[in-house]
């Protein structure tokens, strides 16, 4: 049981956080809260990849003269880290565009609350 918790607590926590982010995007009425939910979902997915890269007892992915390259067990898996650098930037830029759209909506309708917005769009 303890081993199970040690091995999977991170994954289960991230699955829960992902669902919380989705909850924010689906249920909340305020558009800004939807954007926050989007941010949570993106961050969770990034964490998910990083957790997959973890190795017990390994160090950072910069070549260490003490270990050399013959022991790959001494380094974390560098591939997911690299991929997530890309995903972080994508998430940030999506956030920027979402905020730009929110500013556009606010200038047009002077509200970010969805029921009020629907009323004013008629």
Of 52-71, which residues contact another protein (CB under 8 A)? 52-56, 60-63, 69-70
What is the smallest separation between the CB atom of 61 and another protein, expressed in angstroms?
A: 4
Does residue 36 touch another protein according to CB under 8 A? Answer: no
Identify whether the C-beta of residue 46 lies closer than 8 Å to the C-beta of residue 84. Answer: yes
The site for another protein, by CB under 8 A, has a size of 71
What is the smallest separation between the CB atom of 112 and another protein, expressed in angstroms?
A: 10
What is the smallest separation between the CB atom of 80 and another protein, expressed in angstroms?
A: 8
Burial of 21 (0-12, 13-18, 19+ CB in 10 A): buried
Does residue 6 touch another protein according to CB under 8 A? Answer: yes
Identify whether the C-beta of residue 48 lies closer than 8 Å to the C-beta of residue 12. Answer: no
Buried b (16+ CB within 10 A) or exposed e, 65-94: eeeeeeeeeebbbeebeeebeeeeeebeee
Q: Which of 85, 82, 83, 63 is nearest to 74 (CA)?
A: 63
Closest to another protein by CB, 115 vs 121, is 121
Does residue 2 touch another protein according to CB under 8 A? Answer: no
What is the smallest separation between the CB atom of 30 and another protein, expressed in angstroms?
A: 12
């Amino acid at each position: 049981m303890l081993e199970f918790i040690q091995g999977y607590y991170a994954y289960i926590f991230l699955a829960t956080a992902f669902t919380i982010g989705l909850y924010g995007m689906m249920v909340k009425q305020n558009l800004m809260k939807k954007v926050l939910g989007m941010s949570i979902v993106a961050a969770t997915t990034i964490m998910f990849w990083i957790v997959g890269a973890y190795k017990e007892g390994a160090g950072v992915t910069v070549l260490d003269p003490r270990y050399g390259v013959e022991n790959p067990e001494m380094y974390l898996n560098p591939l997911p880290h690299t991929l997530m650098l890309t995903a972080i930037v994508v998430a940030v830029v999506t956030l920027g565009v979402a905020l730009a759209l929110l500013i556009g909506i606010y200038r047009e309708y002077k509200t970010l609350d969805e029921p009020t917005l629907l009323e004013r769009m008629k």
